[in-house]
Each structure stands twice: as structure tokens, then as C-alpha cells.
Amino acid sequence: MTAAPRNIRALTRSEARRIWLRAQRLDEREPFGGGLEAVPLAVRHLGYVQIDTINVIERSHHHILWTRIPSYKREHLVAAQSVERSLFEYWTHALSYVPTEDYRFFMPAMRRHRQNPNSWFSSVSPKDLAKVMRLVREGGALSIREIEDDVLVEKDHAWASRKPSKRALQLAFYTGALTISARSGMLKSYELAERHFGWETRPRPATETQTLDYMLDRALRSQGVVSLDSICHLVPSLKSAVRGRIETRLRRRSLVPVVIDGAEKVEHWATPEALEDGSAPDGEPMIHLLSPFDPLVIQRRRLAVFFGYEHRFEAYVPKEKRLFGYFALPVLLGDRIVAALDLKTDRLARRLLIQKATWFEEPSVESKARIDDELGRFERFQLES
């Protein structure tokens, strides 16, 4: 049987950027509305929101949501995780908030952790694991600070704890026995998954094919134009299997092969619906101060292809070698990244400090005034209690 001919769609970089910005919901002011209801809507659309510990400004998970929900409050995320339970934490390419309705797609990974824990958990003894499970089962949700009877050990890693129970809690989390029921800053409380979610029986784990389709659909929804690298970010072992699902959709004509000007060697695909309108949105261009962990920024090679901008995350770079600064935020003006601002919140003085400003193009007087207004809005968000 002869394969159906494939009509390749050519996109300029400008068209590709606009499709991606629309998929990221960065081309309108309130794409998810406001209030508590907006948070699970935003996470569901994006697929996940990455969590990070650095807090020179507001932590990335709050920042990413604030970017898309102008009226966002931190307590909205707390409620979504701990009260509504519409979100849970698990590993995507990093620890992230994920819609609870997607839990079953992560159960195969939980099973793999049970069957073959990675080397990080080699020091966890059956006794330590049984201890933390008993404490949670009998006493309810538990944080590591509440375990005071551990025999302390020497750290074997800079990110390790002297309490053996911490790694035991982490292992129980990755295997799905426990879930993170609440978070205060970076302090996590762990609870039995069944008790937290109110399950009588667990969801049915997704099959391998269902999980691959989930990854593909998630990328198409939040990226618009996708590649194997963007779908399988930091999980390259899945590329061959994902390509198989792409080929199936190409045969059904529910996907279109795409070539992007200047990136012809990288295969891309999109749905026909995403390609319908590559025109610029009406009105004045949106301005966003993006987290370095924003979904638009975190895949830096993709960002360079689409925007011609190579972001540098320099928190772990020696000071004398930094170009943009410790924690630089790309400034998005319409469909262009015009600057990288290294910001820091001085919480005692109640000010947002610009440590360094790197401009890639000179904005108009009007655009500069609007960027200053956005900095003021971001400062107010930083200082909200």
C-alpha cells in the first residue's frame, strides 16, 4: 500500500512564534479568567507547571501562573493542591504541578520506581521505608520536620539530608505510595495517596500507547508546533515510540508536517487547526516578564530556533562569567524577546531591584513605559503577603 502524499507546510519564524505564543496563551491578557478556578484551567492547558527552589524573586511555579493569570494569588495554588485536590505533584522533566485527572499517565513511572529504584534511593533501608509509611498511616500527613527520632547520618550529596527518613519519604512519593498533600515554600507534607484523593480504588494505569498519546497531545496543545525534542524534553528514550504515534496521525491527516524557515533540518508537526491562523493578534503587543522556568523558556534550543534568542541560566555560573546575571528574566514584547533583566526582590526594603539590564533592541518610548508598568505590577506581586 502506497503511503499518502504529505503536504509540508512552510512557516516563517514569525508565524511559528505566533502559533507557539497562542498555544502558551501569552497573546491575551486573561486567557483563563481569574480566581481559584483559573489555576487548574491554566495547568490543564499547559500540561504541567515546573516547581523550582530558587527564590531571589517569586518561585517559578507562582511566577508562571501569575504570567497567565493577572489576578493570581498564591493561596489559589495552595487550595488547588490541598483543598480542591485538582492538582498533584510529580516528575515530568522536573518536579511539577500536574492535573490530578492525568494521574494515571504517571502510574507506569511509579511502577518502574517500585520495581527498579534509581541509585539515589540505594541507601533507603526497608526499615526506614516501613517507618515513614507507618507514621503517615497512623498519624496523617507528615513533613520531614516532624520526624525527630532519626539517627542522623553524614550527607552523601549537597542536596541530601542527614535524616534517613527524608529519602524514604521521597522514595514512597516516587512509587506512588505517598503524595504531597501540601507545600509551604519548599517544605512538603506527605499523605497516603488514597486518603488524600479520597479513592476507594486507584485509577487504572494508562497503557504505553495511551501515555505516548498523552505526551503528544500535551505538547500539541501547549506548543502548537512540535518536534521530537520538544515532545520528549529530557526523555530522549521515548523518541522512537513517539515518532510511531506521529506517523499514525500523519496517515490519518490529523497532523501536518511543518518546516520552519532557518530550521529546515529539524522535523516539526502541527494540527491543521493550529495552522489556520498565523496572523498577529489585534491590539497593542503583550508584555511579559518570563520566568527562566516558563514553558516558553525552559527548552532553550527551541527558544533559539523560534525567537533567535539564546537564554542563559546563570545561577550556577561563576559571577565573573555571567553575561545576563544570576537570575535573568526574558522580556517578551509581542513576539520578540527584547531584553533580559536580572531581578532580585529586597523583601526588607520592599523593593524589586534590577541587578542588570541587557537590551537586545531599543523599544519605543511607549513600549519602554509599558515595560516599566509591568515591572511595577511584578514588584507588587512580589511583595504581597
Classify residue 354 as exposed, middle or buried by CB count within 10 Å of its CB (0-12, 13-18, 19+): exposed
Name the pTM for this structure: 0.95
* Bridge partners, residue 179, by sequence: 191
Q: Which candidate, 263, 367, 375, 278, places its Cα nearest to that of 329? A: 375
- Residue 227 carries which side chain, given as an amino acid letter? S
Distance in angstroms (rounded) separating the CA atoms of residues 162 and 154: 6
Q: Quick check: helix, strand or coil at residue 8? A: coil
104 φ/ψ sector (left φ>0, alpha ψ -120 to 50, else beta): alpha
Polymer length in residues for the chain:
385
- What is the structure's pLDDT at 158? 82
C-alpha cell at 266: 529539524
Contact 95, 53 (CB under 8 A): no
CA distance 229 to 302: 8
| C-alpha cell read off for 331 | 522580556
Query: How many Å separate Cα 111 from the centre of its chain?
Result: 23
Tell me whether residue 160 is exposed, middle or buried, using C-beta atoms within 10 angstroms of its C-beta: 0 to 12, 13 to 18, 19 or more.
Answer: middle
User: Terminus-to-terminus CA distance in the chain, angstroms?
Assistant: 65
- Tell which residue, 289, 304, 298, 297, has the closest CA to residue 342: 289
Burial of 244 (0-12, 13-18, 19+ CB in 10 A): exposed
The pLDDT assigned to 279 comes to 67
Order of strands across the sheet that contains 351-359? 287-289, 328-333, 336-346, 351-359
270 vs 336: CA distance, rounded Å: 22
* pLDDT at residue number 2: 39
What DSSP assignment string belongs to 229-263? Answer: HHHTTT-GGGHHHHHHHHHHHHHTTSSEEEEETT-
Determine the longest span between alpha carbons in the chain, in angstroms.
Answer: 71
Provide the H-helix boundaries in the chain: 13-23, 38-46, 60-68, 74-82, 107-115, 126-139, 164-174, 193-197, 208-223, 228-231, 239-251, 300-307, 365-383
Q: Which of 385, 322, 292, 382 is nearest to 346 (CA)?
A: 382
Per-residue pLDDT at 3: 46
Residue 4 has what pLDDT? 44
Angle between the N-to-C axes of helices 74-82 and 60-68, in degrees from 0 to 180, rounded to the nearest 10: 110
pLDDT value of position 1: 37
Written as tens digits, the pLDDT of the chain (385 aa) is 334 446 899 999 999 999 999 999 999 999 999 999 999 999 999 999 999 999 999 999 999 999 999 999 999 999 999 999 999 999 999 999 999 999 999 999 999 999 999 999 999 999 999 999 999 999 999 999 999 999 999 998 888 899 999 999 999 999 999 999 999 989 999 999 999 999 999 999 999 999 999 999 999 999 999 999 999 999 999 999 999 999 999 999 999 999 999 999 999 999 999 999 766 677 899 999 999 999 999 999 999 999 999 999 999 999 999 999 999 999 999 999 999 999 999 999 999 999 999 999 998 999 999 999 999 999 999 998 6
| Cα gap 90→80, rounded to integer Å | 15
d(CA 62, CA 320): 30
